[in-house]
Structure 1
Amino acid sequence: MIRNYIKTAFRSLRKNKGFTAINVLGLALGLATCLLIVFYVADELSYDRYNENAGRIYRVNEQLKLGDNKVEYAVCMPPLAKTLKNDFPDVENTVRLKNLGGMHVKKGNENILEYNTLFADPSIFDVFTLPILYGNKATALTEPNTVVITESTAKKYFNKVDVVGENLITDGNKAFKITAVIKDIPQQSHFHADFLVSMSSFPDSRSNEWLRSDYNTYVLMRKGADYKKLEAQFPQFLRKYSGGQMQDELKMSYDAFEKNGSYFRMNMIPLIDIHLHSNQTGELGINGTEQYVYIFSAIAIFILLIACVNFMNLSTARSANRAREVGVRKVLGSARKYLIAQFLSESMIVTLIAVIISIVLVVLFLPAFNQFADKNIIITAHTLVWLIPVSLLAVLVIGFLAGLYPAFFLSAFQPIDVLKGKISSGFKGGRLRSFLVVFQFSISIFLIIGTLVIYNQLHYIQSRDLGYNRNQVLVIHNAFELGNHSQAFKQEIRQLPGVQNATLTGFLPTSLNRSTAIFYKEAVADPKKSIFPQTWNVDEDYVKTLGMKIAAGRNFSNQILSDSSSVVINETAAKFLGFTDPVNKIIYKSSGGPNPTFKAYTIIGVVKDFNFSSLRQNIDPVIMQLNEDTGNLSIRVNTANISGLLTQVEDKWKGMSQAHFEYSFMDQDFDKLYRSEQRTGTIFMVFTVLAIAIACLGLFGLAAYAAEQRTKEIGIRKVLGASIPNIAGMLSKDFIKLVFIAIVISSPIAWYLMQKWLQDFAYRVNFHWWIIALAGVAAILIALITISFQSIKAAIANPVESLRSE
């Protein structure tokens, strides 16, 4: 019986090759897209789950409000980890990580700057799952000047893996002994490290300070312990340990501090939530966004629904062609259940073929998907373990659901009605098909609107006046490698043809180098009269080189000695300080400690606000001081021969340093800040095109069938004098009417959801009416183009061919 079902199904599918091809292609595209998104979402949700104790590990975060300033940190105080372990029985272990920022390692005659370098407590191996290939985890990071490296790093520097006991030579010819080699940390980790340096290699003279935050602190809870109960004890815990230092430094009690409206808090975030739910100051890497996981998951479901809708639409549209077959089968004694089984078999076969093709498409397009999604997803044996069962389940579920209605619809025909020709045919009267077409195009129009909004926002980000000019700025990284020659290097670069100016500092709007300090309006530690700004060390050429604008006062000058005790602030800092005319006003910076002293700084200028973080955030206050910082050298260039200038700059560098020459352009660094949004825009556009293509496949099939069913009507109309445009319009208007309905349904939904997305940006475009109008026009044009081929083909057909049998 089953063999007969399959044979008959193949015969029917072969007989209707066009409809079969459209069904298979539509389902295959839908399934392939859905599978790619499943890979993406699974990858995003898998971060840090490689840790055996992932469900018991938490990171401690910190929130600080001082006056009107609010800051959220992913880092905490130096003594926190040890104190938590000692004071709370529910805490099994703790570990601290500290971002080193980079470490130079010698390989032959070359100094290589390794960015993935972290200081770590010895307990890191008891908290995180970092399999050791060689060495002893109990002693690996207990001694100063010891380091644990990854397997790939060992191969990179020694061409072998067992390198325990070898030395790595770093800055200043300092030797670090390799005590262990671990497996490479998985890509799905919120932190990455090729070098784990013992924390004891970093003597911290301020290790007992409770008002300083610079360690990423992780807690391993005991089995069964509730981290929320621990979190609830943090307020009293902080009061106990930081209250004394707060009294010494701010000259006020903890109660008085909170009474002023300020606060000092801690909370805990599960390790597995960090990647998608945390973007705070002091993160160890660039995290993702939960919002995009939801968006792409919804798109996957929508596209799969569109593909299934196509199947149902085309299957029911062919009902008239199958009606006589059903009638004859019933007259010959075929039971309804066998007819249902027959039609479901056809649905299963189509789905099976589509699933196989979709897997092939995924394999072919996965490298391209990885490239624009910035992923490294690969299909492994582990992937096949779940992919094959899921694919078979998809065949059963999708095949059954997509073929369920057509099967019951077709098998319900009464033989007498069929054989008398009473079964209606054609596009008209197909309410379900009309509903499904509206559903498909509602999703497609929503995706078109979403794509337009995202690209409009990205264009705004790229073209907005940021308060500085990022174009034609060459950034030479790690200028501190030049040592005492950094200033000489800057002056020599300024003399090169094509160089307009240069500034020596690591504090750039497009870098992640940040620093904060507390300033007061008076020489008293009063939180109400305080400001907690970004505090950047710059030189006298900073403002000019970056094309910033002075709103009031003047810039720094190396000819005025008093400028060493002066500051230039941004407009936001002036507002926070409450100064209407801040120039020549005095602000104070505390030295900290039990008996703080206050150094006075004169505000000599106000620079117009400039964006130095994501446009999702408001501009924070910035205070710039005239101090030496040799992080980077930024060069304003004005030449068409960039490659020639780069060669000259590199030659100058090599004449003063043996370190590796690294550079970038500021506009490229700026683009990296919005790489997530750019990837989202690209993925959104690709999936939108696929959704529209799948919907158009179904519309094309329906238009072909509608034209086929109305062949005799068209012939009669032509005989009676109807023109080709009249007939084409007649065939098209029913579909266009449905597209208009789809526009009306999808537009308000798209408007609401995209407004919610835009609200994540502090600086954003307005949602203009023309976006909906453009999406609607695009949908109508797409539908017209899809339908027009079949409409014109039917309209120009010779009526003799369709009427000869009458």
Structure 2
Amino acid sequence: MFKNYIKTAFRSLKKNKGFTIINVFGLALGLCVCMLIVFYVVDEVGYDAFNTKADRIYRVNNDIKFGGNTNSYAVAPPPLAQTFVNDFPEVEQAVRFRDRGGFKVRKGDENVQEPNVLYADPQIFDVFTLPMLHGDPNTALKNPRSVVINETTAKKYFNTDDAVGKSLTLNDSLFYKVTGVIKDIPKQSHFTADFFICMTDLPESKEDAWLSNNFNTYILLKKGSDVNRLSAKFPAMVSKYVGGQLQAAVHMSYEQLEKGGNYFRVSLTPLRDIHLTSNRVAELRGNGNIQYVYIFSAIAIFILLIACVNFMNLSTARSSNRAREVGVRKVLGSPRKYLIAQFLSESVIVTFIATVIAIVGAWLLLPYFNQMADKQLAFTASTIPWLLPALLVTTLVIGCLAGSYPAFFLSAFQPVDVLKGKLSSGFKGGFLRSFLVVFQFSISIFLIIGTLVIYHQLKFIQNKDLGFNRDQVMVINNVDVLGNQAKVLKEELSQLPGVVSTTMTGYVPTSGWRNSSTFFQDATRDTKTALSTQVWDIDEDYIGTMGMKVVQGRNFSKAFKADSSSLMINEAAAKRLGVKNPINKELYYSLDNMAQKFKVFRIVGVVKDFNFNSLRENITPVVFFLNENRGSLALRLKATNTTALIAQVKAKWRSVSPNQQLNYTFMDEDFERSYRTEQRMGGIFVAFTSMAIIIACLGLFGLAAYAAEQRTKEIGIRKVLGANVSVIVAMLSKDFIKLVIIAILLASPLAWLAGRYWLQGFAYRDGIKWWIVASAGAGAMGIAFITISFQSIKAAVANPVKSLKSE
């Protein structure tokens, strides 16, 4: 019996080649998109899963409201890790990381800049699963001047992974002994490092500074510990340790601080949640976004639904053609269950063929998808155990669901009505088909509007006045490796004809290097008027080179020796101070982490607000010191022959330091990189939206073909009576166009609400313009009309003699 189902199903599918091809291709495209999205989602939710103790590892967070600012940090005070181990029996172990930027490492006669360097406590191997190939994880980072490197780094510097006992020279003067070689950290990790340096070598790691936050801290809970009960103890811990130093710094207890609306709060984030849910200050790596996982998962489901809807639509539309077949089968005694099995068999066969094509399509498209999504997804041996069963189940489920309505609908026909021709109603009267067409195009229009909203916001970001000029600015990184020669390089580069100006600082608006502190308006250190702010070291040339504007007072100048005790602030800081004219106002600044030593500075200028954070965040206060900082060297270039000028810069660099690598970027590229995630998501949206439209149009194409086929004789008669092509095209198109208009009316408000919700993640946004919705609607109408018109015109220009000769 089953063999007969298969044979009959193939005959039916072969007989209706056009509809079969549309169904197979539509389902294959939908399944292909789903497969790509599943790979993306599995990769995103799989971060940090390689840690065997991942379910017991938590990162410690610090939320601080003070001095008018509220900040959420992924870092904590130096003594917090050991305090957790000492004070809370639930905590089995704790470990800290400290990111101090990159190091230059000697390789032969050359110094190689290595950016992925972390200081780490010895307990790192007790908490995280970092398999050690060579060395003892129990002692690897216990002694000063010890470093653990990964397998790739060992081969890079020593041509072997067995590098234990060998030496590395860091920053020309620091000699480190390799005490361990670990496997490369998996890509699916929220932190990555090629070098782990012994934390003992960092003096600040030993400080009892509870008001300083610089260490990424993780705790490992004992089995069976209740994380909620542990978290409930944190307020008392903060009051005990932070409170004492707070009293010394600002002369008030922690309870008094909280009464003033300020707070220091410690919280925990599960390790597996960091990548998708955490976006705090001082993250060890750029994280993902759980919203995109939800969005793409929904898109996968919607596209698959569109493909299934095509199958149901075309199958029910063809019902009248197969009605006589059903009637004859029933007259000959075929039970309804056999008819249902027959039609479901056809559906499963179509789905199986589509699945095979989808697998091949996903394999071919995966490299392009990786490029768009910045992933390294691949079909590997590890994916087969879960992928094949999932595809098998998906094939059966989709095959049964997509074919369920046609199967039960067709098998319910009464033989008497069928054989009398009462069920050949054709296209008209198909409420379900109309509903499904509206559903398909509603999803397509929703995706079109979503794509346009993303691209409009990205264009707004690119064109917004940021308060500084990012164009034609070359940033040379890690200038500190030059030592005192950094000033020499700055002066020599300033003399190049193509260089407008130069500035040396570690703080540029598009970099991730930040530093925050607190100023007080008087010697009483009143927290009500405290100013929590960014603190940047700059030179006299900074404001001009960055294209910023001084709106009050003056810029730093070499002509004023007292500027070493002067400050400049931005407008946000001036607003926080609450004075109309802050020029010459004094601010008290702490010179140590314990807030025991203060120095008085005088404000000499106010800089127009500029966006140094993402446009997702509001501009916060910034204070500028006139101080030497060799973090980087920024050059404003003339917009002529940039390539030749870069060659001159490289030559100057080599003349000053022939053994150091030159590492540079351009500020506009750094800015674009900040929004690379949105750009990637926009590209993926375009691709998925295009596929959704193609699938929807395939169904519409099939329905239009069927409608034209059903009305062939009517068209012939109308043409004989004088109807022209345009009248017939309009007659065949109007029913479909009405459905698309309904879809536009339904999808537009929902898309507007979803777009508005997404835009709320940006502090600076342009909103959703009316033309975005109008363009999406017009585009959908145009696409639908072109799809329908192909079949309508084909039917309208056909010779009426052929359709009427049998009458």
Both proteins in one fold, TM over 0.5: yes
Q: 1:147 to 1:410 in 2, by over 3 A?
A: same
Match of 1:20 in 2: 20
Match of 2:627 in 1: 627
Q: What's the CA shift for 1:685? A: 1.1
Q: 1:600 to 1:333 in 2, by over 3 A?
A: same
1:586-610: per-residue Cα shift (whole Å, max 9, x none)? Answer: 2221234778343222211111110
Q: What's the CA shift for 1:201? A: 2.1
Q: 1:728-739 residue pairs with structure 2 within 5 A? A: 728-739=729-740
Say if 1:249 and 1:592, in contact at 8 Å, map to a contact too.
no
SS at match of 1:381: coil
Q: 1:795 to 1:218 in 2, by over 3 A?
A: same
Could you tell me which amino acid in structure 2 is paired with residue 525 of structure 1? Answer: R
Q: What's the CA shift for 1:426? A: 2.2
Q: 1:549 to 1:328 in 2, by over 3 A?
A: same
Q: 1:276 to 1:205 in 2, by over 3 A?
A: closer
Q: Distance in 2 between matches of 1:789 and 1:240?
A: 77
Match of 1:609 in 2: 609
Could you tell me which amino acid in structure 2 is paired with residue 684 of structure 1? Answer: F
Match of 1:721 in 2: 722
SS at match of 2:484: helix
1:17-54: per-residue Cα shift (whole Å, max 9, x none)? Answer: 11111101100010010111111111111111111111
Say if 1:535 and 1:624, in contact at 8 Å, map to a contact too.
yes
1:522 is aligned to 2:526 = no
SS at match of 2:589: strand
Q: Distance in 1 between matches of 2:403 and 2:159?
A: 59
Q: Distance in 2 between matches of 1:597 and 1:383?
A: 59
Match of 1:787 in 2: 788
1:736-772: per-residue Cα shift (whole Å, max 9, x none)? Answer: 0000100111111111111111111000012122211
Aligned residues: CA RMSD: 1.1
Say if 2:105 and 2:172, in contact at 8 Å, map to a contact too.
no
Moved over 3 A (4+): 592-595
Q: 1:297-312 residue pairs with structure 2 within 5 A? A: 297-312=297-312
Tell me which moved more, 557-566 or 400-409: 557-566
Q: Distance in 2 between matches of 1:3 and 1:790?
A: 37
Q: 1:218 to 1:557 in 2, by over 3 A?
A: same
SS at match of 2:28: helix
Say if 1:67 and 1:261, in contact at 8 Å, map to a contact too.
no
Say if 1:99 and 1:119, in contact at 8 Å, map to a contact too.
yes
Match of 2:596 in 1: 596
Q: Distance in 1 between matches of 2:322 and 2:105?
A: 75
Match of 2:709 in 1: 708
TM-score w.r.t. the length of structure 2 is 0.99
SS at match of 1:204: helix
Match of 2:743 in 1: 742
Q: Distance in 2 between matches of 1:408 and 1:14?
A: 22
Could you tell me which amino acid in structure 2 is paired with residue 282 of structure 1? Answer: A
TM-score w.r.t. the length of structure 1 is 0.99
Q: Distance in 2 between matches of 1:479 and 1:471?
A: 21
Could you tell me which amino acid in structure 1 is paired with residue 701 of structure 2? Answer: F
Q: 1:253 to 1:170 in 2, by over 3 A?
A: same
Q: 1:594 to 1:544 in 2, by over 3 A?
A: closer
SS at match of 1:348: helix
Match of 1:32 in 2: 32
Could you tell me which amino acid in structure 2 is paired with residue 439 of structure 1? Answer: F
Say if 2:450 and 2:751, in contact at 8 Å, map to a contact too.
yes
Q: 1:476-625 residue pairs with structure 2 within 5 A? A: 476-592=476-592, 596-625=596-625
1:757-798: per-residue Cα shift (whole Å, max 9, x none)? Answer: 111100001212221111111110000010000000001111
Could you tell me which amino acid in structure 2 is paired with residue 805 of structure 1? Answer: S
Q: What's the CA shift for 1:524? A: 2.2
SS at match of 1:190: coil
Could you tell me which amino acid in structure 2 is paired with residue 109 of structure 1? Answer: D
Q: What's the CA shift for 1:673? A: 0.6
Match of 2:762 in 1: 761
Q: Distance in 2 between matches of 1:534 and 1:67?
A: 12
Say if 1:13 and 1:20, in contact at 8 Å, map to a contact too.
yes
Say if 2:211 and 2:594, in contact at 8 Å, map to a contact too.
no
Tell me which moved more, 255-264 or 351-360: 255-264
Q: 1:238-387 residue pairs with structure 2 within 5 A? A: 238-387=238-387
SS at match of 1:240: helix
Q: 1:62-73 residue pairs with structure 2 within 5 A? A: 62-73=62-73
SS at match of 2:106: strand
Match of 2:90 in 1: 90
Could you tell me which amino acid in structure 2 is paired with residue 675 of structure 1? Answer: R
Q: Distance in 2 between matches of 1:440 and 1:44?
A: 28
SS at match of 2:383: helix
Q: Distance in 2 between matches of 1:590 and 1:237?
A: 24
Match of 1:777 in 2: 778
SS at match of 1:27: helix
Q: Distance in 2 between matches of 1:592 and 1:646?
A: 41
1:180-209: per-residue Cα shift (whole Å, max 9, x none)? Answer: 111111111100011111111223375211
Could you tell me which amino acid in structure 2 is paired with residue 47 of structure 1? Answer: Y
Tell me which moved more, 64-73 or 470-479: 64-73
Match of 2:676 in 1: 675
Q: Distance in 2 between matches of 1:335 and 1:256?
A: 83
Tell me which moved more, 164-173 or 536-545: 164-173
Q: Distance in 1 between matches of 2:206 and 2:529?
A: 26
1:198-226: per-residue Cα shift (whole Å, max 9, x none)? Answer: 11122337521111111111010111111
Match of 2:41 in 1: 41
Say if 2:518 and 2:532, in contact at 8 Å, map to a contact too.
yes
1:102 is aligned to 2:102 = yes
Q: Distance in 2 between matches of 1:427 and 1:501?
A: 73
Equivalent pairs, count: 806
SS at match of 1:78: coil
Say if 1:67 and 1:528, in contact at 8 Å, map to a contact too.
yes
Could you tell me which amino acid in structure 2 is paired with residue 798 of structure 1? Answer: N
SS at match of 2:187: coil
Q: Distance in 2 between matches of 1:580 and 1:321?
A: 82
Q: What's the CA shift for 1:238? A: 1.2
Could you tell me which amino acid in structure 2 is paired with residue 12 of structure 1? Answer: S
Q: Distance in 1 between matches of 2:309 and 2:541?
A: 63
Could you tell me which amino acid in structure 2 is paired with residue 334 of structure 1? Answer: S
Match of 1:798 in 2: 799
Q: Distance in 1 between matches of 2:595 and 2:171?
A: 36
Q: 1:36 to 1:691 in 2, by over 3 A?
A: same
Q: Distance in 2 between matches of 1:547 and 1:537?
A: 17
Q: Distance in 1 between matches of 2:7 and 2:579?
A: 86
Q: Distance in 2 between matches of 1:536 and 1:210?
A: 22
Gaps of 5+ in 1: none
1:79-115: per-residue Cα shift (whole Å, max 9, x none)? Answer: 1111110111111111111113111111111111111
Q: 1:594 to 1:399 in 2, by over 3 A?
A: closer
SS at match of 1:416: helix
SS at match of 1:106: strand
Gaps of 5+ in 2: none
Say if 1:303 and 1:691, in contact at 8 Å, map to a contact too.
yes
Q: Distance in 1 between matches of 2:686 and 2:577?
A: 45
Q: Distance in 2 between matches of 1:597 and 1:78?
A: 20
Match of 2:213 in 1: 213
SS at match of 1:514: coil
Match of 2:194 in 1: 194
Say if 2:199 and 2:205, in contact at 8 Å, map to a contact too.
no
Q: What's the CA shift for 1:321? A: 1.2
Q: What's the CA shift for 1:384? A: 0.8
Q: % of aligned pairs identical?
A: 62
Say if 2:510 and 2:667, in contact at 8 Å, map to a contact too.
yes
Match of 2:667 in 1: 666
1:120 is aligned to 2:120 = yes
Match of 1:388 in 2: 388
1:408-445: per-residue Cα shift (whole Å, max 9, x none)? Answer: 11111122222221113322111100000000000000
Q: Distance in 2 between matches of 1:625 and 1:593?
A: 18
Could you tell me which amino acid in structure 1 is paired with residue 788 of structure 2? Answer: I
Q: 1:126-165 residue pairs with structure 2 within 5 A? A: 126-165=126-165
Say if 1:249 and 1:593, in contact at 8 Å, map to a contact too.
no
